[in-house]
């Protein structure tokens, strides 16, 4: 065999070097579980891969705890107000109960929590009761902030939120969980905007005068009601984020047709892992949410995260309900308390794992990109069903470590912690500033 000419040899060596470099970049990109997976950004693939590689190196110099305290962490759904309505505790100090208090929040790096102004569906039966409770719970949130000004502050907008962060204060934003508080009147939307409500979950466990509920088999509105269809553009105009958690699939698609701003799912997870559970979002819904710039904030409740946990709960609930019916007792009776204790001694509760939770984040990232997922824990709202390693607000560093372990860069983690939801909130604010004077 004749030897290759020298010029050809050098050409091939240079070509081989370029090919190896390209392969290395592609490998780095593919290993990043939180890389830019937006198909429309394919032309930026080389730059994205290089930036992701740099970010991974940077993250290796910081621990998960460091990252938790470097960046703003926003959790869009924590049920502190209703928890305190049932049993008051001073959350500026360490508390015996619940998933939130100031010391644990500082330990975990939590900077902004959307206080859930939760309105039980049963109140819908009595006109005025939902609005009354909403105003009362808002008063409670404001009181907590006023009594501890060195620890907490209200945050009705992103500018105030960012200023509070620089001062080391934990911000209270507010979201109304169940639009029943509006009592079917658009003027009440203005009232609650003025009081600081910045998102509204359109319905809760039952259909209301705005929307059908994912939990309610009776789809009275066939999606949104006539009032609900008027409400969405008004929420856009005022600067109130539309929250699609809890609503029916049909209502979701109608919201997506009507809203002129990105929408959020404040505390939902991926239905891919819990087939048939309408409360979570299907892949098709997540894709449409992302197409319009929205964000799904992952709910930590074990039954939202793990099918095994959901199956365990459903089996337990059937046994408890049968016991209640047989003995003609209510759920909060001493007899049921004894039954539950005995049942769980024989059948220990199945909790989701941290890996289960991270799988939801990764699924959304792989599906639509890292720009469309965030944190909506449902702390203080899902009872004793939180995953192992995510039992309260001190545990955000555990979540961050899980994200780093699947290849997320520091920049990606920052988007998940707050960047994505703040982007949406600012878009909603900007739209409102341009349209608030128009009807």
Look at residue 437 in the predicted model and tell me its pLDDT. Answer: 76
Tens-place pLDDT, residues 130-156: 999 999 999 999 999 999 999 999 999
Tens-place pLDDT, residues 354-411: 999 999 999 999 999 999 999 999 999 999 999 999 999 999 999 999 999 999 999 9
pLDDT at 250 over 50: yes
pLDDT at 287 over 90: yes
Tens-place pLDDT, residues 92-108: 999 999 999 999 999 99
User: What is the token pair recorded at 25?
Assistant: 């970049």
Tens-place pLDDT, residues 157-192: 999 999 999 999 999 999 999 999 999 999 999 999
Look at residue 94 in the predicted model and tell me its pLDDT. Answer: 98
Q: What is the mean pLDDT of residues 210-236?
A: 97
Inside any domain, residue 63: yes
The pTM for the full model equals 0.88
Inside any domain, residue 328: no
Inside any domain, residue 85: yes
pLDDT at 431 over 80: yes
Inside any domain, residue 13: no
Residues in the chain: 439
Inside any domain, residue 209: yes
Look at residue 303 in the predicted model and tell me its pLDDT. Answer: 98
Look at residue 436 in the predicted model and tell me its pLDDT. Answer: 79
Report the alpha-carbon distance of residue 22 to residue 374 in Å, rounded: 32
CA–chain centroid gap for 213, Å, is: 18
Q: What is the band of 432 on the pLDDT scale with cuts at 50, 70, 90? A: very high
Look at residue 385 in the predicted model and tell me its pLDDT. Answer: 97
Query: How many Cα atoms within 13 Å fall on the side-chain side of residue 89?
Result: 17
Inside any domain, residue 341: no
Inside any domain, residue 167: yes
pLDDT at 196 over 80: yes
Could you tell me if 248 and 214 are in contact, meaning their C-beta atoms sit under 8 angstroms apart? yes
pLDDT at 331 over 50: yes
Tens-place pLDDT, residues 106-134: 999 999 999 999 999 999 999 999 999 99
Report the alpha-carbon distance of residue 77 to residue 409 in Å, rounded: 25
Q: Is the sign of the CA dihedral 185, 212, 283, 404 positive or negative?
A: positive
Tens-place pLDDT, residues 60-94: 579 999 999 999 999 999 999 999 999 999 999 99
One-character DSSP codes across 66-126: HHHHHS--EEEEE-HHHHHHHS---TTS--SSSS--HHHHHHHT--EEEEEEE--GGGGGS
CA–chain centroid gap for 242, Å, is: 13
Where b means 16+ CB within 10 Å and e means fewer, 301-335 reads bbbbbbbebbebbeebeeeeeebbeeeeeeeeeee
Measured in degrees and rounded to the nearest 5, phi and psi for residue 203 equal: -140, 175
Look at residue 191 in the predicted model and tell me its pLDDT. Answer: 98
Could you tell me if 355 and 391 are in contact, meaning their C-beta atoms sit under 8 angstroms apart? no
Could you tell me if 142 and 130 are in contact, meaning their C-beta atoms sit under 8 angstroms apart? no
pLDDT top residue among 282 and 51: 282
Look at residue 438 in the predicted model and tell me its pLDDT. Answer: 65
Q: Which of 34-38, 49-53, 418-422 has the highest mean pLDDT?
A: 418-422
pLDDT at 22 over 60: no
Structurally, the chain folds into a number of domains equal to 1
- 379 DSSP 8-state letter: B
Task: List, in sequence order, every residue forming a beta bridge with 296; answer none if it has no partner.
Answer: 265, 373
Report the alpha-carbon distance of residue 386 to residue 389 in Å, rounded: 8
Name the nearest CA neighbour of 387 among 355, 343, 346, 345.
355
Q: Tokens 């107000």: give the residue.
A: 81
Inside any domain, residue 338: no
Residues 6+ apart with CB under 8 A from 159: none
Residues 6+ apart with CB under 8 A from 288: 253, 256
Q: What is the mean pLDDT of the chain?
A: 90
One-character DSSP codes across 121-162: GGGGGSTTHHHHHHHHHHHHHHHHHHH-TTTEEE-SSHHHHH
Domain that holds residue 426: 37-306+351-435
CATH of the domain at 88: 3.20.20.140
Look at residue 95 in the predicted model and tell me its pLDDT. Answer: 98
Where b means 16+ CB within 10 Å and e means fewer, 252-275 reads bbbbbebbebbbbbbbbbbbbbbe
């Amino acid at each position: 065999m004749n030897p290759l000419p020298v010029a050809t040899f050098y050409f091939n060596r240079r070509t081989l070097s370029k090919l190896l470099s390209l392969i290395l970049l592609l490998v780095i990109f593919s290993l990043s579980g939180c890389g830019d997976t937006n198909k429309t950004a394919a032309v930026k693939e080389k730059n994205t891969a290089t930036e992701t590689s740099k970010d991974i190196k940077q993250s290796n110099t910081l621990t998960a705890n460091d990252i938790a305290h470097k960046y703003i962490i926003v959790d869009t759904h924590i049920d502190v107000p209703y928890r305190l309505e049932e049993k008051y505790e001073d959350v500026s100090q360490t508390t015996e109960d619940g998933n939130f208090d100031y010391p644990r929040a500082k330990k975990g790096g939590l900077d902004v929590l959307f206080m859930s102004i939760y309105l039980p569906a049963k109140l819908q039966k009595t006109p005025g009761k939902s609005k009354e409770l909403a105003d009362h719970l808002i008063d409670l949130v404001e009181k907590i902030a006023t009594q501890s000004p060195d620890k907490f502050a209200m945050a009705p907008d992103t500018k105030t939120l960012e200023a509070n962060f620089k001062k080391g204060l934990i911000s209270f934003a507010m979201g109304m969980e169940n639009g029943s508080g509006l009592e079917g009147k658009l003027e009440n939307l203005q009232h609650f905007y003025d009081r600081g409500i910045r998102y509204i979950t359109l319905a809760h466990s039952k259909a209301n005068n705005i929307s059908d509920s994912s939990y309610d088999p009776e789809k009275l509105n066939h999606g949104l009601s006539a009032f609900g269809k008027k409400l969405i553009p008004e929420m856009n105009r005022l600067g109130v984020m539309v929250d699609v958690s809890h609503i029916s699939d049909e209502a979701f698609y109608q919201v997506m047709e009507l809203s002129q701003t990105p929408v959020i799912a404040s505390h939902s997870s991926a239905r891919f892992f819990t087939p048939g559970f309408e409360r979570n979002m299907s892949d098709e819904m997540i894709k449409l949410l992302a197409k319009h710039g929205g964000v799904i904030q992952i709910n930590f409740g074990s039954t939202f995260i793990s099918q095994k946990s959901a199956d365990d709960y459903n089996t337990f609930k059937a046994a408890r309900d049968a016991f209640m019916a047989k003995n003609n007792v209510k759920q909060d009776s001493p007899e049921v308390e004894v039954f539950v204790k005995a049942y769980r001694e024989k059948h220990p509760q199945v909790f989701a794992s941290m890996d289960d939770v991270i799988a939801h984040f990764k699924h959304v990232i792989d599906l639509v990109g890292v720009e469309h997922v965030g944190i909506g824990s449902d702390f203080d709202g899902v009872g004793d069903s939180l995953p192992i390693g995510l039992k309260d607000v001190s545990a955000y560093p555990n979540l961050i470590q899980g994200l780093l372990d699947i290849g997320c860069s520091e920049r990606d983690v920052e988007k998940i912690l707050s960047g994505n939801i703040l982007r949406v909130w600012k878009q909603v604010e900007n739209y409102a500033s341009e349209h608030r004077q128009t009807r």
